[in-house]
Amino acid sequence: MIRKVGLILCGLILMFAVTACEKKEPEKKTEEPAPTATKEGGTLVFGRGGDSVGLDPAYETDGNSFMICDNIYEALIFYQDESTALEPGLAESWDISPDGKTYTFYLRKGVKFHDGTPFNADAVVFSIGRMMKERKLKFFSMEWDVPPQERPPEYWVSMEMDDTVDSIEAVDDYTVVFKLKRVDAPFLANMGMDFADIISPTAFMNNPKEFLRNPVGTGPFKFVEWVKDDKIVLEKNENYWDTSGGPYLDKLIFRTIPENSVRFLELKAGNIHICQFPNPADIPLAKEDPNLKLVSQPGMNIGYLSFNYTKSLWQNIHMRRAIAFAINRQAIVDNIYQGMGQVAKNPIPPTMWGYNDKIEDFPYDPEKAKLELAEGGYPGGADLPEITLWSMPVPRPYNPEGLKVGVAMISDLAKVGIRAKIVSYDWGTYLKRQREQPKDMDLFQLGWTGDNGDPDNFLAVLFDGLASPAIRTQWKNEEYHKLMLEGKQTIDQAKRAEIYMRALQVFHDEVAAICVAHSTVIWPMRNNVMNFKLHPTASVRMKNVRLE
Amino acid sequence: MLAHIIRRILLLFPTLLGISIIIFLMMHITPGDPAELLLGERATEPALEALREHLGLNEPLYVQYGMFLKRLMKGDLGETIWTRQKVWIEVKQRFPATIELSIAAMLISSVLGVILGIISATKQYSLFDYLSMLGALVGVSMPIFWLGLVLMLIFSLNLGWFPMSGRLSVGIDLDPITNFYILDALLTKNWPAFKDALWHLTLPAFTLSTIPMAIVARMTRSSMLEVLRQDYIKTARAKGLSPGIVVMKHALRNALIPVITVIGLMFGILMAGAILTETIFAWPGVGKWLYDAVLQRDYMVIQGGTLFVAAIFVIINLVVDILYAVINPKISVH
């Protein structure tokens, strides 16, 4: 009997092995759609780390949701392929009144939503108007009763759009007028952001509660299917209005593969075409692989270290300077960012207009740090109590490993005589407690990814502590604050660039915060993926992508 | 017997109520705020306040729990914070994936585990015994994460025998009916999809089965050894019965009782292992979903999802208890 069991076991193993070998074919089959695809058409599989949360652009906050929206919807204004320079989108052109408070958009004609609804001024009033708290809206031919908000439209609220937009009016079928409450120079750039995408009003009114799972826009791809935590399938919009270029792909599949290394292995095996956020350690492997290529883009972001300005210790500029000289940021970029980044000397990235290249960065100089420390009243750091350095517990786009960066920083600080310890909380608590500027926080790491390519979106939002108690750094400087207001209220971009350069000088002189690094995004992909470009805003646009 | 079953079913309700209170309290004792996490770096106080108000997070805890219970009475698990979807629908979409994986892992681990255990026990101190028990020790201590990656490297990337991740290959279409892909493929007689789904299942199921398999093998072995020393086995042998019949008919039935308990409890181990297995193999199930919900503080998912999983766990244990009595009538239920 025992022998029989043994035989059965052997039989089972043999069967397993035989059937396993048989399987080789279907596995190959799955690889085929990629390489055999011709110049036009084909299915592109995009591998990403997480699923989308929802697909209603007004309510989403995460990159994985926006990346799908980027291909389904369009806004009045487009960002250029590789920069945030503005170009006409669903609006062919626009006028700005001399007082800067009235924007008139002239819309593109002959555009249709995926469900056949014509795109017109009413659709714009509907899409943007539904985010307003007090809806001063005027439709031209339709009278939609815009349903109440399911929840606060996060971007609209956090960009303070209710304080900017007063009313939206459809003057005729293809003209929309936005009246503003205040002059707001970044307004136009904001209209290119995802939250300002135009949706099909009929599709939304059909079932407002389910719209985020049944998105309908005017974009180059149409929504087909969503299998939660598995994949989202889009297909080519055959009736796309812009016939000068793409879409070329027949089908677009966004697969969720949470584990970075597995996602990379899937790319190597040819089962996906593009691999989002690989492990830095896999980049050299991708370089060696003849079937893969890399695409990179300096991210529109900043990782910074700032001070708790409610404590007198950090109101002392010598102490701030001491920290700036003491930290070896180049070593952090080389070892922790693993080269996927560059040392920052301004809080805005070098690709952004308004960047002040004349600023002389703080060199890594422990001796100077010691001098500053002595001038600050703590020679040798002797009487200085142990300080805390808050570090993020999670990887962020601007900082791959906050805790490691923190450890590197405290060892640098120790070299000049400043004793420091790392403090970290779970991410939600970290964000919440940081805002409260508690006494047990001295230095904190944080960062930002830009939304619209406007310097205001970095400089005012992050550092103008006089503007609002909600600003995370709470650095309060009259001159800087005035410059920020001036920047917001000046429409001419060249003049604004000058204003921001001046503000950056003040920022640097006062050591408002220490700019650590701008991270670079590097994604590997199969050689046959053509024309895929990474965008500074991290949006993923597949319109012009083809497979060869 | 029937009275016992009814009593156990009635006990389900206080058990689940207790579980829901514990989960609710644990969740709210843990620091963190879903509103903060949803908005991230760009959160402003007014935006946070509006969102918290909308989510009902500003209410006192007992009110929040009361609302949860009230909904539950109506059979409604609530709506998720992040995806704004009924928790029940989200569970329904993912649970079949996890159950499919768990059943496959359970099958592999019980069948292989029992066979290994029997052979080891009957050939005690043989080379096979030593090797299989060493294997069991390794199996129990192997990190699932590492094992999954290694299996994937060998069998998917290098040998190309199995697909790497996911439930179905790109290009294979399947109309979901129950969301158990293998069952759906059978129902629609979609053979390519059946084969593909089965093949996608193999590696993750094997990865998930290693720990329970090792436990089952060791349990079977020791319980078998004990039974084999009993007098009635000697009697059976003395009667001149073949060793095979003695082992399979007389010994195994008695030896399996503790093993079945372990297999019943295995569901818990499988659920824990499912988090890692699902993450590595991009398997869209509840394990990874619940884990993410904890990180994102999606209270509604944690409340509803865990309650659902706990209910299943309790029911499985009940079924095991009933099986007990069926397998061995000597065990009477009081």
Q: What is the 3-state secondary structure (H, E, C) of A369-429?
A: HHHHHHHCCCHHHCCCCCEEEECCCCCECCECCHHHHHHHHHHHHHHCCCCEEEECCCHHH
Amino acid at A334: D
Q: Yes or no: say if A426 and B32 are a contact pair by the CB < 8 Å rule.
A: yes
Disruptive mutation site among A64, A158, A195, A302 for chain B (greatest number of B CBs within 10 Å): A158
Q: Inter-chain contact B156–A20, Cβ cutoff 8 Å?
A: no
How close is the nearest chain B Cα to the Cα of A314, in Å?
Answer: 22
> Which tokens in the block code for residue A231?
């994949």
* Residue in chain B nearest A153 by alpha carbon: B47
What is the enclosing helix (H) or strand (E) of B320? helix B299-327
Q: Inter-chain contact A30–B170, Cβ cutoff 8 Å?
A: yes
* CB proximity under 8 Å: A 390-409 to B: 396
Disruptive mutation site among B149, B165, B209 for chain A (greatest number of A CBs within 10 Å): B165
The three-class DSSP label of residue A171 is: strand
Q: Which ranges of B33-169 would DSSP assign to H, the alpha helix?
A: 34-39, 45-55, 61-73, 87-122, 127-141, 144-151
Q: Inter-chain contact B156–A30, Cβ cutoff 8 Å?
A: no
Q: Inter-chain contact A61–B83, Cβ cutoff 8 Å?
A: no
Residues of B whose CB is below 8 A from A228: 90, 93-94, 284
Q: Inter-chain contact B31–A228, Cβ cutoff 8 Å?
A: no
Q: Inter-chain contact A229–B119, Cβ cutoff 8 Å?
A: no
What is the enclosing helix (H) or strand (E) of B228? helix B191-228
What is the pLDDT, as a whole number, of residue A112?
A: 94
Q: Yes or no: say if A34 and A270 are a contact pair by the CB < 8 Å rule.
A: yes
φ, ψ dihedrals at A387, nearest 5°: -100, 165
Residues of A whose CB is below 8 A from B41: 396, 431, 446-449, 472
Among candidates A24, A43, A268 on the partner chain, residue whose Cβ is nearest the Cβ of B157:
A268
Q: Inter-chain contact B41–A61, Cβ cutoff 8 Å?
A: no
What pTM does this model have?
0.86
* CB proximity under 8 Å: A 427-446 to B: 427-429, 431-432, 435, 446
Average pLDDT, chain B: 86
* Residue in chain B nearest A210 by alpha carbon: B85
Disruptive mutation site among A27, A68, A207 for chain B (greatest number of B CBs within 10 Å): A27
For residues A484 and A482, what is the distance between their CA atoms, to the nearest angstrom?
A: 5
Among candidates B84, B115, B192 on the partner chain, residue whose Cβ is nearest the Cβ of A5:
B115
Disruptive mutation site among A163, A228, A234, A464 for chain B (greatest number of B CBs within 10 Å): A228
Q: Inter-chain contact B169–A26, Cβ cutoff 8 Å?
A: yes
What is the enclosing helix (H) or strand (E) of A319? helix A317-326
* Residue A21 touches partner B, C-beta closer than 8 Å: yes
Which among A457, A444, A449 is positioned nearest to A402, based on CA atoms? Answer: A444
User: For tokens 């290529």, what's the residue?
Assistant: A293
DSSP states of B178-194 as a string?
SS-HHHHHHHTT-HHHH
Among candidates A228, A230, A257 on the partner chain, residue whose Cβ is nearest the Cβ of B90:
A228
How close is the nearest chain A Cα to the Cα of B289, in Å?
Answer: 8
Parallel, antiparallel or unpaired: strands A529-530 and A137-138: unpaired
Residue A70: Cβ within 10 Å count: 24
Residues of A whose CB is below 8 A from B247: 1-2
Residues of B whose CB is below 8 A from A425: 31
* Residue in chain A nearest B111 by alpha carbon: A9
Is the alpha carbon torsion for A7, A9, A12, A18 positive or negative? negative
Alpha carbon of B305 to those of A203, A384, B27, B216, B292: distances in Å?
31, 50, 13, 28, 12
Residues of chain B with pLDDT under 70: 1, 327-334
Residues of A whose CB is below 8 A from B157: 265, 268-269
* Residue in chain B nearest A4 by alpha carbon: B244
How close is the nearest chain B Cα to the Cα of A264, in Å?
Answer: 11
Mean pLDDT per 10-residue run, chain A (548 residues)? 42 40 37 47 93 93 92 94 89 93 94 94 94 90 83 84 92 94 91 94 92 95 94 94 89 94 93 91 92 91 95 94 96 90 94 92 94 92 91 89 94 94 89 90 94 91 87 92 93 93 96 95 93 89 92
Q: Inter-chain contact A152–B115, Cβ cutoff 8 Å?
A: no
Residues of A whose CB is below 8 A from B54: 151-152
For residues A172 and A161, what is the distance between their CA atoms, to the nearest angstrom?
A: 24
* Residue A138 touches partner B, C-beta closer than 8 Å: no
> Which tokens in the block code for residue A290?
């003849």
What is the pLDDT, as a whole number, of residue A40?
A: 77
What is the pLDDT, as a whole number, of residue A14?
A: 39
Cβ burial of B29 (10 Å; 0-12, 13-18, 19+) is: exposed
* CB proximity under 8 Å: A 306-365 to B: none
Disruptive mutation site among A22, A230, A456, A473 for chain B (greatest number of B CBs within 10 Å): A230
* Residue A152 touches partner B, C-beta closer than 8 Å: yes
Disruptive mutation site among A30, A456, A471 for chain B (greatest number of B CBs within 10 Å): A30
Q: Inter-chain contact A265–B152, Cβ cutoff 8 Å?
A: yes
Q: Inter-chain contact A265–B157, Cβ cutoff 8 Å?
A: yes
Q: Inter-chain contact A228–B165, Cβ cutoff 8 Å?
A: no
What is the pLDDT, as a whole number, of residue A35?
A: 42
* Residue in chain A nearest B290 by alpha carbon: A229
DSSP A112: B
What is the pLDDT, as a whole number, of residue A373?
A: 93
Residues of B whose CB is below 8 A from A152: 47, 50-51, 54
Which among A68, A61, A83 is positioned nearest to A452, based on CA atoms? Answer: A83
For residues B321 and B5, what is the distance between their CA atoms, to the nearest angstrom?
A: 9
Q: Yes or no: say if A464 and A73 are a contact pair by the CB < 8 Å rule.
A: no
